[in-house]
Amino acid sequence: MISFRESHLNRLGMPRYLVIAYQTAENPALLQKLKELAEAAEGARFVLLVPATASQHLKMVSVRESEVLAQEAVERARRRFHDEGIELAQVRVSDPNPIVAATQELADAPRYDGIVVSTFPPGVSRWLKMDIVSRLERMSSIPVTHVVADSEPDES
């Protein structure tokens, strides 16, 4: 749910962006894009949405384990964003399916000025195989920016 403060800031013309990322949340390409958005519009606010998807290298992961792993990713991303001078208004762990997560978020807090989706490169990204960018563009009337991470996931 959008807070009164966030709603007020949005009405004052301070743009709000939904950032959807998990393993690429700390990637320099995403951080650079968010810095550009923040510089283009003073007071830009970012909400980081991290779908609790299972880790690629684990054979079996429970829903709870997925949430714990996603929460750990959130905490790392929160520190990295802070270190890079990017202010996060909110951070949320959400549904494992990034499309469902985005749909729920946009229904609960519809006042976004843009969506930024961060994925691994084509051929590596499971989200791109799901056609996340096109699907988000079709389901929303706000601009969708796709950022491709500079590297592939660690296999460790």
pLDDT given at position 8: 39
CATH 3.40.50.620 fits 15-148, yes or no: yes
pLDDT at position 151: 67
Provide the 8-state DSSP code for 53. Answer: P
Q: What is the structure's pLDDT at 11?
A: 47
CA 28, CA 151: separation in Å to the nearest integer? 10
Q: What is the pLDDT of residue 9?
A: 41
Whole-angstrom distance, CA of residue 133 vs CA of residue 118: 10
Question: What is the block-wise mean pLDDT of the chain (156 residues), using blocks of 10 residues?
Answer: 42 83 92 94 91 62 72 86 90 91 91 95 91 94 94 50
CA distance 55 to 51: 11
CB 97 within 8 A of CB 133: no
Q: What pTM did the predictor assign? A: 0.83
Distance CA 50, CA 67 (A): 10
Strands (E), the chain: 16-20, 45-51, 88-94, 114-119, 144-148
Domain boundaries, the chain: 15-148
Closest C-alpha among 7, 27, 18, 82 to residue 50: 18
